[in-house]
Amino acid sequence: METGAMKPAAAADNTRQQAQQQALFETKHAEVLSEARDMAREFGVDVHAVAFRPDGTAVRHEFLGIGREARLKGLISRAVAKDVSAMGLEEVTAHEQHLQRLRSLVAHELQVKAAKARAAAAESTKRSPEQQEVAGAAAGSSSSKTRRIE
């Protein structure tokens, strides 16, 4: 009889201990994430944080110090600002090829942005006039004779 009474008490103690461990984890996890975020912001570097929960699972976070566009702008401005008057023929050729690659990268990024904008515009006008009419009629009147087009 005593062993039966001990099992619920042990289970309750185990549950309490797990809850305490989870609370401690949440506190420390929030602290680590705050520090990682601050470090990424302050130094402009990417920070990857991995935290292991008390149950053994892992949580991974990534904080980017500088956005991709900011990195590209910096790379482009450094490449464009090079003084080509002091370069030799091979260096000028390599620099020109580098600038061509950057130009194609920027053109590709602009095409991707334009495609996203076109897709968003197409999505908003995707509904047919009949669907718009039915949606407007359903919102404007309580008639039960509206038809649904899918």
Q: How confident is the model at residue 8 (pLDDT cuts 50, 70, 90)?
A: confident
C-beta of residue 56 within 8 angstroms of C-beta of residue 69: no
pLDDT at 148: 58
H or E stretch covering 60: strand 58-63
CA dist 71 and 85 (Å) reads: 26
Mean pLDDT of all residues in 14-24: 88
Per-residue pLDDT of 73-98, as tens digits, reads: 777 777 777 777 778 889 889 988 98
Which one is predicted more confidently, 8 or 149? 8
- Which residue, among 47, 27, 29, has the nearest Cα to 38 in the 3D structure? 47
Alpha helices in the chain (DSSP H): 2-43, 68-80, 89-124, 129-140
Alpha carbon of residue 12 to chain centroid: 40
- Name which of 55-64, 91-100, 141-150 the model is least confident about: 141-150
> Per-residue pLDDT for 1 more than 50?
no
Which residue pairs from 20-23 have beta carbons closer than 8 angstroms and sit at least 24 positions apart in sequence? 21/54, 22/53, 22/54
User: pLDDT digit string (tens) for 34-54?
Assistant: 998 888 888 878 889 998 888
